[in-house]
Amino acid sequence: MKHTHRMIIIAASLIAIVAGAGFMLEQMYLDGTVINPVVSHDMQTADMALVPMTGTFAPDGSTVAGSYQITTEKTSYAPGDYIFAHFTLCLHRMITPLVQWTFVNDIAQALAPRTGNIVATGCYTNVRIQIAQVPDEFREAFANSEYRLYGTVTYKVNPFRKITYTYVTNEFKISKVVQ
């Protein structure tokens, strides 16, 4: 009986060690949020009431690692204008993300998703990044309305896990007239 009890304790100990090692491996090399993040931000977090995703998972099943408020350079744009915002961040690993921006007022107008790194690895303070271009269709249908841009940047950190960062801009107006 003592031999069986000892074997159970040894088996339980081995299971605990293997599980702990697996957790450490996942956290250090696979997770991408706590120990080995893809990106770290030094920016204001977004008011969760403004972020269209609730909970910790995005609609595509990825983990939402952070939601941030960004400010556009202008408060009024015309169709065809490029919209720029400033980011303070560190890109720790070169993983090509999927970037999706959506114009939102009473309705949502998603732009085509794109892939590609915005910056090289390194740390940036107040870097100017082009986030979108106002579609020409806004000239008639949605002109003179207040908008926000919602963005998601999703990194596939390993074959099983994706990490998403969400961004929301200040409100801005889109005018009918091309400037």
**Separation CA 173–CA 146 (nearest Å):** 5
Answer yes or no: is 64 within a domain: yes
Residue 72 pLDDT class (50, 70, 90 cuts): very high
Proportion of the chain above pLDDT 90, given as a percent: 26
Beta strands in the chain (DSSP E): 39-41, 63-70, 76-77, 82-91, 98-104, 108-110, 114-115, 122-133, 145-158, 161-169, 172-174
Residues 62 and 142 in one domain: yes
Question: Do 62 and 44 fall into the same domain?
Answer: yes
Q: Give mean pLDDT, residues 60-65.
A: 76
More confident residue, 112 or 57: 112
In this predicted structure, the answer to whether residue 52 has a pLDDT above a threshold of 60 is: no
Residues 149-166: what's their mean pLDDT?
87
The whole model's pTM is what?
Answer: 0.76
- Domain check: are 42 and 94 in the same one? yes
Average pLDDT of span 170-176: 87
Residue 8 shares a structural domain with residue 82: no
Region 94-123: what's the mean pLDDT? Answer: 87
Which range has the worst mean pLDDT, 45-59, 71-85, 112-126?
45-59
**How many folded domains does the chain comprise?**
2
Containing domain of residue 6, as a range?
1-30
Helical segments of the chain, H only: 2-25
Residues 17 and 53 in one domain: no
Q: Are residues 49 and 25 in the same domain?
A: no
CATH number for the domain that contains residue 147: 2.60.40
71-95: buried (b, 16+ CB within 10 Å) or exposed (e) per residue? ebeeeebbbebebebebbbbbeeeb
pLDDT at 162: 86
Q: Model confidence over 30-40: pLDDT tens digits?
A: 556 666 778 88
Residue 130: CB atoms within 10 A of its CB come to 10
**Residue 77 included in any domain:** yes
Q: Look at residues 67, 69, 122 and name the one whose alpha carbon lies nearest to residue 93.
A: 122
Residues 6+ apart with CB under 8 A from 43: 68, 69, 70, 87, 88, 89
